[in-house]
Amino acid sequence: MSPIRLLVLAVLFYIAWRLLRGLGKDSNPVCRTGKQGESKVQDVLVEDPVCHTLVPKHQALQLRRRGVTYYFCCEKCLRAFERNSDRKPSHG
């Protein structure tokens, strides 16, 4: 058997393996914040007032302040907003 034939076989096996793997797609936990790509889910995008990232409403963190609801991409932004918007005077 020539080495080229072996190579062709190997490539064929690789392609078959890739196809099989492609069939059983599993959802991998990848954070998809930031880029506004094409999403299957038609959701309302809300803007994070801290980092100005657009986040789907259902996965955004909510904070109510004086009757206004704010949305955040992550807890870090929420905390930062809380700190900035509501500076409590210290007891002294």
Give me the residues that bind Zn ion (CB under 5 A), please: 48, 50-51, 53, 73, 77
In the complex with Zn ion, which residue's Cβ is closer, 21 or 83?
Answer: 83
As measured in angstroms, the least distance from the Cβ of 50 to Zn ion is: 5
**β-strand partners of 56:** 45
Place of tokens 């998809």: 32
In the complex with Zn ion, which residue's Cβ is closer, 4 or 31?
Answer: 31
Place of tokens 């930031």: 34
As measured in angstroms, the least distance from the Cβ of 41 to Zn ion is: 19
User: Which helix (H) or strand (E) element contains residue 20?
Assistant: helix 3-23
Nearest residue to the partner Zn ion, using Cβ: 77
Which pair of structure tokens corresponds to residue 52?
């100005």
CA–CA gap between residue 8 and residue 25 (Å, rounded): 27
In the complex with Zn ion, which residue's Cβ is closer, 9 or 44?
Answer: 44
Measured from the Cβ of residue 51, the count of other Cβ atoms closer than 10 Å reads: 16
As measured in angstroms, the least distance from the Cβ of 90 to Zn ion is: 27
